Amino acid sequence: MPEATLDATADHGEIKGDTVTGGYEDAQAALDKLTAVGIDLDDVVKVLEDEGVDKFEVSWKQLLETVEKQLAGGAA
């Protein structure tokens, strides 16, 4: 998690404990409603996964380039 997110949470966030456990039925109902109105959840997941992997790959390559430049004695 980015440090800025941790700082913002510490500054004005409100942690309310476990908000995941016990919410399965509500989550499934929400997904069922999305499917009922024609949203293809498999497609949504595929697009999100593909875009996430692509963005990670770009960031990873940038990180490697920066590290390689610094190891070679160049400026970042």
The pLDDT averaged over each successive group of 10 residues in the chain (76 residues) is: 90 87 91 98 97 96 94 77
What whole-number distance in Å separates Cα of residue 25 and Cα of residue 70? 51
Is 49 inside a domain boundary? yes
Whether the pTM exceeds 0.75: the reply is no
Domain of 49, in residue numbers: 40-76
- Number of domains into which the chain is organized: 1
Is 21 inside a domain boundary? no
Is 9 inside a domain boundary? no
What whole-number distance in Å separates Cα of residue 41 and Cα of residue 71? 44
Q: What is the CA 58 to chain-centroid distance, rounded?
A: 15
Is 6 inside a domain boundary? no
Is 56 inside a domain boundary? yes
What whole-number distance in Å separates Cα of residue 1 and Cα of residue 15? 16
35, 41 contact by CB (below 8 A): yes
What pLDDT sits at residue 31? 96
